Structure 1
């Protein structure tokens, strides 16, 4: 009997030892798991913050880019509106000014005797790309092309009844610099295209004798 009692106590001691060790191991594992979970949560929050910051930066950049393009378009329009044209009939050139400063000039052909280009102060009233031309006597309409006497652009600045005066290109560029038109201001086609792109409706036109 005594031997049997001693064995029960030993068994209980061994059992308590194993249970205690198991509890210690469980506690260590639980602490490691809790620490791991906290690190993961912190990393997720940091990643979310970085993503949010990058998204905000991209949005800001897009807004800034759009604003820059808008400012550029506004500046171009303002420059066109500030342009002023001066036609000097005596030296047969048109001068482009912007804010009182001369930007450029182009040679022109002017009205012949009896069809003189009128002098005075005017403003651009009409602008057309690749205009069609109607013969004043026959009424025939000449389409865009090499035979069209208006060339590549029309910039009208005087309308009185059936009289229409303005800048236009020509199919006879060799006559630029002479008094050969019926009152209009003829220009080389490349020059009238360049002029067209520098002005807008309402641009002032000063014609000097």
Structure 2
């Protein structure tokens, strides 16, 4: 179980229930590339702590049940985490982008 982007030292079990929005497995913390849409100001994805992360609420996967995060089964986020180096562009949308994202400024 993660809280505040840090391991708590606890492992989730079914006895913990699924009512809480547990963050399980790993987090991929997102940072937007589009000023005014997901980067900067009140829409900034990074400052709003928008993640890809594992959840115990498997019954809600595929629905708009979070406050902005994309939730996956814990084993899926662990597998995805191992495939994604830091800085890898991630596109979330209904169709692939027409052009690659602009290079990220550091």
The answer as to 2:3 corresponding to 1:133 is yes
- Structure 2 segments unaligned to the other structure (5+ residues): 32-45, 95-106
| Counterpart position of 1:204 | 89
1:208: how far off?
1.8
> Which structure dedicates a bigger proportion of its chain to helix?
1
| Counterpart position of 2:69 | 184
* CA distance, structure 2, for counterparts of residue 207 and residue 142 of structure 1: 26
1:1-209 aligned at under 5 Å gives the runs 132-134=2-4, 143=8, 144-146=10-12, 147=16, 149-158=22-31, 159-160=46-47, 163-209=48-94
* CA distance, structure 1, for counterparts of residue 7 and residue 78 of structure 2: 20
> Which structure dedicates a bigger proportion of its chain to strand?
1
* CA distance, structure 1, for counterparts of residue 60 and residue 78 of structure 2: 18
Output the aligned Cα RMSD.
Answer: 2.3
Q: Deviations over 1:163-206 (max 9, x none)?
A: 10110001211211111000001000111111011111010011
State how many pairs are aligned.
71
Q: Deviations over 1:16-51 (max 9, x none)?
A: xxxxxxxxxxxxxxxxxxxxxxxxxxxxxxxxxxxx
* CA distance, structure 1, for counterparts of residue 72 and residue 51 of structure 2: 11
Using the size of structure 1 for normalisation, the TM-score is 0.31
1:207: how far off?
2.2
- Structure 1 segments unaligned to the other structure (5+ residues): 1-130, 135-140
Larger radius of gyration: 1
CA contact (8 A) 2:2 2:22 kept: no
1:142: how far off?
8.2
* CA distance, structure 1, for counterparts of residue 53 and residue 65 of structure 2: 14
Using the size of structure 2 for normalisation, the TM-score is 0.58
